[in-house]
Amino acid sequence: MSSPAEYYNSLPPISKAYGTICLFATTAYQFGFYDPETIALIYKLVFSHFQLWRLITNFFFLGPFSINFGIRLLMIARYGVQLETGPFQRRTADFLWMIIFGAMSLLVLSAIPWFQSAFLGISMVFMLLYVWSREFPNANINIYGLVTLKAFYLPWAMLALDVIFGSPIMPDLLGIIAGHLYYFLSVLHPLAGGKNRLKTPMWVYPFAFFSG
């Protein structure tokens, strides 16, 4: 059985980096090193005070230490890693581009008043979950030992659980929308004879190289 350090070192680069930054962001918050409002997505401050870092930093905060935080981090470790080592194996740049496209989609959606969200980390996790569920639709998933269902339905089941436990559903819904948009444009539309509009840009490849 591998040690925690060996397991961590075996993780693919993009999922490992994202999960690690999210963990550090919450740890720093718990120790009082910063106020989450300083990294939140507040468009008024982005444009009037040129606080451009908010367009990026908001994706790394998954909330304070809690069961929900642990579940979101485990979702990155499972579904993000399985995507990166499965359908995106040896395609690190394509996986990174999926993350970037998802982030841009979520930023646009969050600019709509009804979809407004100060932190899009949970939405990003749900985007990964949605794409994973489409890549592994027939995998059997057991939820908390209570029910087994096909992976295709997992995003909606997780959203339903958030409704039951009183968690906000908008971040989940935003992630599902962004995930569907990516999967439709990159997979479904080309399969139907359309052109792939989401080919990974050349400028992404150097970032993927250095992340490895």
Whether 204 and 93 have beta carbons less than 8 Å apart is answered as yes
Degrees (nearest 5) of the Cα angle 59, 76, 104? 35
Candidates 183, 153, 190, 197; CA nearest to 83 is 183
- 147 - beta bridge partners? 143
Whether 92 and 75 have beta carbons less than 8 Å apart is answered as no
Biggest CA pair distance of the chain: 53
Hey, is 40 helix, strand or coil? coil
Which ranges of the chain have pLDDT less than 70?
Answer: 1-2, 210-212
pTM of the model: 0.93
CA 23 – CA 126 distance, rounded (Å):
17
Residue 190 burial (10 A CB sphere; 0-12, 13-18, 19+): middle
CA 59 – CA 107 distance, rounded (Å):
10
The tokens of 51 are what?
């606080």
The pLDDT assigned to 63 comes to: 94
Sign, Cα dihedral of 125, 130, 131, 136 = positive
The pLDDT assigned to 102 comes to: 97
The pLDDT assigned to 210 comes to: 64
The pLDDT assigned to 1 comes to: 57
CA 81 – CA 210 distance, rounded (Å):
18
